[in-house]
Amino acid sequence: MLDQTETNLPSLLDDPSLLQTKAYVNGEWITGADGEFEVTNPARGDVIARVANLSRAQVAGAIDGAYLAQKAWAAKTAKERSQILRKWFDLIMANQKDLGTILTAEMGKPLTEAMGEIAYGASFIEFYAEEAKRIYGETIPGHAPDKRIMVMKQPIGVAASITPWNFPNAMITRKCAPALAAGCSFVGRPASETPLSALAICVLAERAGIPAGVLNMVPSASSSEVGKEFCSNPKVRKLTFTGSTGVGRILLAQAADQVMKCSMELGGNAPFIVFDDADLDAAVQGAIMCKFRNNGQTCVCANRIYVQAGVYDEFAAKLKEAVSKMKVGDGLEEGTDLGPLITSKAIRKVQEHLADAKEKGAEIILGGAEQLQGPGNFLRPTIVTGATREMQFATDETFGPLAPLFKFEDVDEVIELANDTIFGLASYFYAKDLSRVYKVAEALEYGIVGVNTGIISTEVAPFGGVKQSGLGREGSHHGIEDYLEMKYVCLSV
């Protein structure tokens, strides 16, 4: 039974000053013109903070300040920007446990996962602190005897960011790190469910010496008003969004008026394929990591698990055995494997997908979608067999602890099934035959393919989707390009 006491978050922190509830704008901590909004702990349902609710006018003010601050920030040498970003990385890692505790309290993921996210998010700052010094231009042989051609790369200007609740630290640093490294300034609007993690890293950014106005965080209860300001304000030259494909479409349409450069990290529906020559034990562990990380609330979670007929029953039995040992509970409690879902709405979506599957013939071999007793948004992990393409989870992202097992006969059939979606973010398969590995990796229509692994997250690789899973890439040396403009200089000599 969960502890019924309320979450006393400041008492859990070594440095309670990291728990900020004001907005960070132009180097000042400000209150919201529209009052405050509540942040709740999804494991206990209690209010853990009341955060500044900024008005659209205040967001416009943050953009004005970012516009003014950007020029001086870009005028610093790459090494100066690099050193400040490195200091920020060091401060984040020195406060990893407190930042993880804040993240677990507002989002629910187990503390071990939250601390892992803090390290993952910080890795982007570490990586782009170095990339700042490697933004190279080029010279091109002239097209006439008196012509010399030079190509230079310059920061695009003010970058505006909107991010989701499921990775409240890393989805922001994956954007602001390359932006600041490139010499841009940044105005971020975190998800209203999880603003505390975003504000906490601003406390550390200030301590690291990031100048006023370069990094701004504008929490608000209303997301659409902030989005409209970001998309219509001519001082914003870059919009970077992570979230659902539906909201991505809205923002792309809104940004069209300004012909704004957009990065979109959107929804997914990842296939996880187990061939009959796979290492089944490795595939089971990979499926657990891929499906149940963050309790299934990641854009790259396995949404459909395809198992070749010859190993289907053995895989299902092994997976059921392993998942049955997973502990559901409060993320702040030792030994928790699966925390709460973010909201009751998220629970209902999982329940709808399960009910639809049962109605169409699926069989539950583990769990079920009844909510656990207690104040939190807790569901048991569930596995179903007999999944078919007619079921809702074959086309829609479940975003929860529901693992549907589909059976397939041959490689051509499973490639067609895997690619039959509007999404194209992550995909995974387990196989040993080298020819099969090459052909399947080439045939999958996804931005990311995990081969014999269920975890692909790293700052050194280009993360992003094709089709309606997004535009652009985050991470790797590619990730900084979206914050740069290329200028061609033609010199007559």
Ligand X SMILES: O=C[C@H](O)CS(=O)(=O)O
Residues engaged in binding ligand X (CB under 6 A)? 166-167, 298-300, 457, 463
Measured CA to CA, the distance from residue 374 to residue 387 in angstroms comes to 31
- Return the number of the residue (264 or 284) whose C-beta is nearest ligand NAD: 264
> Residue 269 touches which of ligand X, ligand NAD, none (CB < 5 to 8 A by kind)?
none
| Distance in Å, CB of 240 to ligand X, minimum | 13
Catalytic residue chosen out of the listed positions 117, 265, 459, 474: 265
- Return the number of the residue (166 or 263) whose C-beta is nearest ligand X: 166
> Residue 227 touches which of ligand X, ligand NAD, none (CB < 5 to 8 A by kind)?
ligand NAD
- Residue 295, CB-side half-sphere exposure with 13 Å CA sphere: 33
- CA 245 distance to own-chain centroid: 13
Write out the residues near ligand NAD by the rule CB under 6 A: 162-167, 171, 191-192, 223-224, 227, 242-244, 247, 250-251, 265-268, 299, 397, 425, 470
| Distance in Å, CB of 161 to ligand NAD, minimum | 10
| Distance in Å, CB of 162 to ligand NAD, minimum | 5
> Residue 457 touches which of ligand NAD, ligand X, none (CB < 5 to 8 A by kind)?
ligand X
CB-based contact 257:302 (threshold 8 Å): no
CB atoms closer than 10 angstroms to residue 246: 10
Q: Is 265 a catalytic residue?
A: yes
Output the DSSP codes for 278-342. Answer: S-HHHHHHHHHHHHHGGGG-STTSEEEEEEEGGGHHHHHHHHHHHHTTPPBS-TTSTT-SB---S
- Return the number of the residue (32 or 479) whose C-beta is nearest ligand X: 479
> Residue 243 touches which of ligand NAD, ligand X, none (CB < 5 to 8 A by kind)?
ligand NAD
Residue 375, classed as helix, strand or coil, is coil
- Return the number of the residue (129 or 299) whose C-beta is nearest ligand NAD: 299
> Residue 121 touches which of ligand NAD, ligand X, none (CB < 5 to 8 A by kind)?
none
Residue nearest to ligand X (CB): 457
- Return the number of the residue (43 or 171) whose C-beta is nearest ligand NAD: 171
H/E segment holding residue 421: none
| Distance in Å, CB of 194 to ligand X, minimum | 13
Measured CA to CA, the distance from residue 76 to residue 255 in angstroms comes to 30
Q: Could you tell me which of 198, 202, 199 has the C-alpha nearest to residue 210?
A: 202
Token pair, residue 6, equals 């309320």
| Distance in Å, CB of 441 to ligand X, minimum | 18
Q: Could you tell me which of 23, 69, 26, 70 has the C-alpha nearest to residue 50?
A: 23
Measured CA to CA, the distance from residue 124 to residue 170 in angstroms comes to 8
Report the catalytic residues.
Answer: 265
